[in-house]
Amino acid sequence: MGQTLCICSRGSITIDNKRYYFIQKLDEGGFSYVDLVEGVQDGRFYALKRILCHDREGRQEAQTEVEMHRLFSHPNILGLAGHTFIERGGKSEAWILLPYVQKGSLWSVLEKLRDKGSFMPERRILKVLQGICSGLKAMHDRGYAHRDLKPTNVLLEVDDRPLLMDLGSMNRSRMEVKGTREAMTVQDWAAQRCTISYRAPELFNVESHCVIDDRTDIWSLGCVLYSMMFLEGPYDMVFQKGDSVALAVQNPVTIPQPCRSVSPLASQLVVTLQSITLSAFKASRLECIDSK
Ligand SMILES: Nc1ncnc2c1ncn2[C@@H]1O[C@H](COP(=O)(O)OP(=O)(O)O)[C@@H](O)[C@H]1O
Ligand SMILES: [Mg+2]
């Protein structure tokens, strides 16, 4: 990307020698702010994600997020338009410039449907699901896992093409855990980086000797499919009520009845996705018991 330079003056910023005007705030998270900006030269809109890096580790994580975007050129993975690191008041900020997707996140689309008392037709669900699967497959084929797949981390283009984004939790898909210490490290990492209501069972209580792989994404994929079908994730209520998600994920998922928006086929798909991951999880536990 060459030399990066950033000057903040008169409401404009510079990244990779290109100037952008601030337009408005888009979103604010725990450690990041997302703003809508407009390219002065090209007149295009971009989302500028600013991540506060508290220490060197935080900076490294932001750098990894940038590298993950660069690694893929795929119709279902959000690309990168530029990046820079800036130092302000002794703190470091990573600025990640992304193409702006006007329709916003899959979650915002689901929320609008819920507000209208509407639902997502099954054809549309399957189209979006197919795109998400395609993006995920590209990641898995290269040996990476997303680790934080959920409806707020999927953007939808106007034609409903989904784009996987927020690559800040991505890492190598195969994580070999050897010993209690490593298990605790992985578990603590998951507690911070993998959203609880979409987190796979094997990440709640990481076994001392086991392998965590890309199947954690398949679990989250099942939860995303469910959220498109019922306009909320399968464990959102459990979490909101303050009940244990770790416990809830051990039991078969419940499909609300009656449900007008989906056919038994789609419901079966959710149950199948969940049972694939649950059985993979149980198998990895058995392997781990065998090897002791
Ligand atoms: N390129 C983009 N186009 C449109 N909206 C975006 C874009 N990038 C982020 N957003 C919005 O900002 C939110 C937070 O971005 P995200 O990268 O997920 O940050 P965080 O790591 O804080 O979760 C997204 O859920 C989405 O609503
Ligand atoms: Mg996010």
Catalytic residue among 35, 42, 115, 148: 148
* Cis peptide, bond prior to residue 258, ω within 30 of zero: yes
Distance between Cα 149 and ligand 1 center (Å): 13
Atom 21 of ligand 1: nearest residue by CA position: 166
pLDDT on residue 283: 53
127 phi, psi to nearest 5 deg: -65, -45
Could you tell me if 177 and 183 are in contact, meaning their C-beta atoms sit under 8 angstroms apart? Answer: yes
How far apart (Å, rounded) are the C-alpha atoms in residues 85 and 142?
27
Label residue 88 by pLDDT band (50, 70, 90).
confident
Average predicted confidence (pLDDT) for the chain? 89
Q: Do 157 and 127 touch, CB atoms closer than 8 A?
A: no
Distance 34 CA to ligand 1 centre (A): 6
148 is catalytic: yes
pLDDT recorded at residue 289? 42
Token pair for residue 51?
Answer: 């991540």
For strands 91-99 and 12-15, give the pairing. unpaired
> Across residues 159-163, what is the average pLDDT?
98
Percentage of residues in the chain having pLDDT higher than 90: 75
Which class is domain 5-99? alpha beta
Which ligand sits closest to the CA of 24?
Answer: 1
Domains 5-99 and 106-291 share a fold: no
**Best residue for ligand 1 mutational test, from 24, 27, 52 (most atoms within 8 Å of Cβ):** 27
Kindly list the distances between the CA atom of residue 7 and the CA atoms of 10, 18, 22, 148, in Å, as whole numbers in the listed order.
10, 10, 13, 33
Does 3 score more than 60 pLDDT?
no
Which ligand is closest in space to the CA of residue 79? 1
Q: What pLDDT shows up at residue 1?
A: 39
- Cα separation, 113 vs 115, whole angstroms: 5
Task: Round to whole Å and give the CA distance between 268 and 260.
Answer: 15
> Which residue has better confidence, 70 or 269?
70
* Residues whose CB is less than 8 angstroms from the CB of residue 285 and which lie 6 or more positions away in sequence, other chains included: 207, 210
> How much is the average pLDDT of 265-283?
66
Residue owning tokens 């981390």: 153
For the domain bounded by 106-291, which CATH number is listed?
A: 1.10.510.10
Beta-carbon count within 10 A of 113 CB: 15
Q: Are 163 and 245 in contact (CB under 8 A)?
A: no
Q: Are 191 and 201 in contact (CB under 8 A)?
A: no
Predicted confidence at residue 231, as pLDDT, reads 93
- Model confidence over 48-62: pLDDT tens digits? 999 999 998 999 999
pLDDT tens readout for residues 9-46: 457 899 999 999 999 999 997 789 999 999 999 999 99
Which of 20, 26, 170 has most ligand 1 atoms within 8 Å of its beta carbon, as the pocket-test mutant? 26
Give the count of beta carbons closer than 10 Å to the beta carbon of residue 29: 11
**Residue identifier of the C-alpha nearest atom 17 of ligand 1:** 166
Ligand 1, residues at Cβ distance < 6 Å: 26-27, 29, 32, 34, 47, 49, 98-101, 104-105, 152-153, 155, 165-166, 168
Atom index in ligand 1 nearest the CA of residue 98 equals 1
- Give the residue whose CA is nearest to atom 1 of ligand 1: 100
Task: Kindly state the tokens that stand for 259.
Answer: 């449900």
Contact yes or no for 169/141 (Cβ under 8 A): no
User: Ligand 1 centre and the CA of 261: distance in Å?
Assistant: 28
Residue 187 alpha carbon to ligand 1 centre in Å = 25
Burial of 255 (0-12, 13-18, 19+ CB in 10 A): middle
**pLDDT over 60 (residue 257):** yes
- The reported pLDDT for the residue numbered 142 is 97
Q: Is 11 left (phi over 0), alpha (psi -120 to 50) or beta?
A: left
In terms of Cβ atoms closer than 10 Å to its own Cβ (0-12, 13-18, 19+), residue 105 is buried
Atom 8 of ligand 1: nearest residue by CA position: 47
pTM over 0.75: yes
Contacts of 286 (CB under 8 A, 6+ apart): none
- Domain locations along the chain: 5-99, 106-291
3-state secondary structure of 225: helix
Tokens 């990168």 correspond to 80
Q: What is the pLDDT of residues 120-131, one digit of tens each?
A: 998 899 999 999
Mean local confidence (pLDDT), 282-289: 48
**The predicted structure's pLDDT at residue 276:** 62
Quick: pLDDT tens for 95-141. Answer: 999 999 999 999 999 999 999 999 899 889 999 999 999 999 999 99
What pLDDT score does 268 carry? 73
The string of pLDDT tens digits covering residues 186-217 is 999 999 999 999 999 999 999 999 999 999 99
